[in-house]
């Protein structure tokens, strides 16, 4: 908390909070227990110190990933270009083994690019239809139809209008 207000969502903590969390991580690396870290940094208990250390670790991991991600993307793009080129050479030379090997490399590189860009994470989509009856209403209507209380029911037969009479 900063200034008595809780931060929500993905907002970064205040700089003084991040500095305190980093000090807690440094103390943990030096071998202090969470109780000792809490006492050193003024937390009420071990859980606050533990949360601070975990927050600093998570931030460090995220920062490292964002530093390395562009390099990994560039490498995957080069692999895709190479694999696609080998695949085309195999096609032109009518060498099926070369074609398959190139396609495999290109496919794996493309899958890596999809993961690196986060496109493999399908967002949850909720579809709502305006004016559609709710499930409870549909169940009531279905029960009424089963009970025969659905109003006038016409007994009929489907006939083909193109068929000659008598068939």
Is 1 contained in some domain?
no
Give me the pLDDT at residue 1, please.
Answer: 44
Euclidean distance between CA atoms 102 and 91, whole angstroms: 10
Structural domain includes residue 55: yes
What pTM value is reported for the model? Answer: 0.46
The answer as to whether 141 is a domain residue is no
Question: Which 8-state DSSP code applies to residue 10?
Answer: T
Full domain range(s) for residue 65: 15-116
Asked if residue 125 is part of any domain, the answer here is no
Q: Which pLDDT score, from 0 to 100, does residue 3 have? A: 47
Q: How far is CA 72 from CA 59, 67, 90, in A?
A: 20, 10, 27
In-domain check, residue 111: yes
Distance CA 165, CA 161 (A): 9
User: Is 127 inside any structural domain?
Assistant: no
Counting the structural domains of the chain, the total is: 1
Domain membership of residue 29 (yes or no) is yes
30 pLDDT higher than 60:
yes
Q: What is the mean pLDDT of the chain?
A: 83
Asked, for residue 25, whether it belongs to a domain, the answer is yes
pLDDT in tens, 119-144: 888 777 777 777 777 788 888 888 88
DSSP 134: P
Q: What average pLDDT score do residues 40-66 get?
A: 89
């Amino acid at each position: 908390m900063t200034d008595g207000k809780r931060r929500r969502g993905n907002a970064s903590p205040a700089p003084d909070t991040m500095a305190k969390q980093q000090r807690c991580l440094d103390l943990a690396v030096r071998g202090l227990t969470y109780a000792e870290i809490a006492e050193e940094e003024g937390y009420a208990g071990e859980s606050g110190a533990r949360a601070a250390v975990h927050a600093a670790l998570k931030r460090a991991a995220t920062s490292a990933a964002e530093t390395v991600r562009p390099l990994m993307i560039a490498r995957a793009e080069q692999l895709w270009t190479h694999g696609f080129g080998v695949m085309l050479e195999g096609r032109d030379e009518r060498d099926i083994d070369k074609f398959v090997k190139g396609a495999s490399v290109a496919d794996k590189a493309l899958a890596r690019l999809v993961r690196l860009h986060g496109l493999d994470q399908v967002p949850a989509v909720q579809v709502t239809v305006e004016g559609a009856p709710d499930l409870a209403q549909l169940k009531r209507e279905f029960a009424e139809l089963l009970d025969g209380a659905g109003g006038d029911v016409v007994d009929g037969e489907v006939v083909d209008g193109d068929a000659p009479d008598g068939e």
